[in-house]
Amino acid sequence: MTEVPVPITTRVEYAALCPGDLMPPDRDVFDALYTSEMRAVTVFLMNLGASVYEAADAAHEAFLTLLPDKWRELEHPRAWLRKVAHRNYLRQVDRRDHPLDPVPDRPGGTCPVDLVLLTEEQTRVLQALGQLPPAEREAIAWKLDGFTHEEAARALGKSPAAVRKAYERARTRLITLLELKRKVESSE
């Protein structure tokens, strides 16, 4: 009678299977962070003016900087990811000006682009956001992503009052740009 081997799941075996020396519980936590935040960070960067491919690239770079251990040390990983991804996006300017290779029709591997499907209204809002000054666009992008003015200010190194004022200006301009005021008045 032959015995069926029972798989042994020790930390040593997982070390060989898991990239970046992530152990199963840690890997599950990191996977959950990636799953919950990748699309959100990509949309956040699009709100700041990035194309969907630029946003995905910068977001992936931000996640790579978390490996292997940095993500365990962060007190506010959601804010940190957005800040680093935004910096990565801004660094892409040099690469955008002088492309070396033709841009592929479709990126390979796993890409959040497939998850970021925009409606006509969302496309209109993104175009309007692109017309805002950088500080206002930044303030509204953080707010749209669910951060308070205080959290955004801490991540951006600004005062909460400055972020709040930039948000108010952005909101006023967006209402004008999207002609929302007329729609509200006509419905009353």
pLDDT, average across residues 153-169: 93
pLDDT, average across residues 59-82: 84
Q: What does the alpha-carbon distance between residue 46 and residue 129 come to, in Å, rounded to a whole number?
A: 9
pLDDT, average across residues 32-50: 86
pLDDT, average across residues 177-184: 68
Q: Give the three-class secondary structure for 109.
A: coil
Determine the pLDDT at residue 16: 38
Most confident of the following: 4-8, 11-15, 19-23, 79-83:
79-83
Determine the pLDDT at residue 111: 52
- φ/ψ bin of 109: left (φ > 0), alpha (ψ from -120 to 50), beta (otherwise): left
pLDDT at 32 > cutoff 60: yes
Determine the pLDDT at residue 68: 74
Determine the pLDDT at residue 49: 84
Asked if residues 128 and 178 have their Cβ atoms less than 8 Å apart, the reply is yes
Q: What does the alpha-carbon distance between residue 91 and residue 57 come to, in Å, rounded to a whole number?
A: 11
Q: Identify which of 111, 117, 102 has the alpha carbon closest to the alpha carbon of residue 56.
A: 111
Most confident of the following: 18-22, 43-47, 108-112:
43-47
Residue 40 has a CB neighbour count (10 Å cut-off) of 16
Most confident of the following: 10-14, 16-20, 111-115:
111-115
**What is this structure's pTM?**
0.64
